[in-house]
Amino acid sequence: MKVLIIEDNQDIAASISDYLESLDYTVDIAGDGMTGLNLAITKNYSVIILDLGLPDIDGVDLCQRLRQDAHCSVAVLMLTARGSLDNKLQGFESGADDYLVKPFALKELAARIKVLSERINRAPASRLQIADLSLEEATHEVYRAGKRIELSPSSFRLLMYLMQNPHRVITREELEYAVWQESPPDSDALRTHLYNLRQLVDRPFDRPLLHTIRGFGYKMTDKYAED
């Protein structure tokens, strides 16, 4: 499970990181708000530990941008040295999921992270996510790296099926059935839709998520190095 620590105090960041790594978490550290925001949007974390007082943008502002601008639903645990009720309320209004006042015990922090990650895993699977690409089944909204992507209904169904079945090879026949059931419009329709999908979802971004596995089919994954 991946955790991002956004904290400008290096000693605190390092001690949290060491402790979480000893519990088998994978940890990234950002020493300022903009680096943290950028990592949070482009990588797929289970939980973000966010310091309220940062040198550039503060934690409340960062959390708001994460929720409102980037539509990122990752669990956020906010840290603050200031324990006042006002700060606490501001933290929750900005979209933080939990709150911890410094100084805190690392054991307490780890317990909170565990609860947050389990809560996220139990949430209904209406939102699909691979790396920085997300798809909301209920609202038919697709975002990559915070940018909204408009898809036709067929392309949306195609992408949804690929994202519901990540990291495995899916044949042409299986994809055609997922989008058009028994009656695909013609033999080239799938090829055209995949081409269009790539132009919108992969081409403008730094790395492809949709891969052609020659002779077998297609695979949606962020764990593919050979391509």
Write out the residues near Ca ion by the rule CB under 5 A.
8, 51, 53
Residue 3 or 5 having the CB closest to Ca ion: 5
Strand order in the sheet with 2-6: 26-30, 2-6, 47-51, 75-80, 98-101
Residue 77 or 128 having the CB closest to Ca ion: 77
> At closest approach, how far in Å is the CB of 79 from Ca ion?
8
> At closest approach, how far in Å is the CB of 223 from Ca ion?
34
The answer to whether 218 touches 224, Cβ cutoff 8 Å, is no
Residue 1 or 101 having the CB closest to Ca ion: 101
> At closest approach, how far in Å is the CB of 53 from Ca ion?
4
Residue 9 or 164 having the CB closest to Ca ion: 9
> At closest approach, how far in Å is the CB of 98 from Ca ion?
18
Strands 75-80, 98-101: pairing kind: parallel
Residue 10 or 192 having the CB closest to Ca ion: 10
Residue 51 or 176 having the CB closest to Ca ion: 51
Task: Give the CA distances from residue 188 to residues 42, 129, 161, in Å, rounded to whole numbers and listed in that order.
Answer: 33, 28, 19
Q: Give the residue closest to Ca ion by C-beta.
A: 53
> At closest approach, how far in Å is the CB of 32 from Ca ion?
10
Region class of 217: left (phi > 0), else alpha (psi between -120 and 50), else beta: left
> At closest approach, how far in Å is the CB of 93 from Ca ion?
20
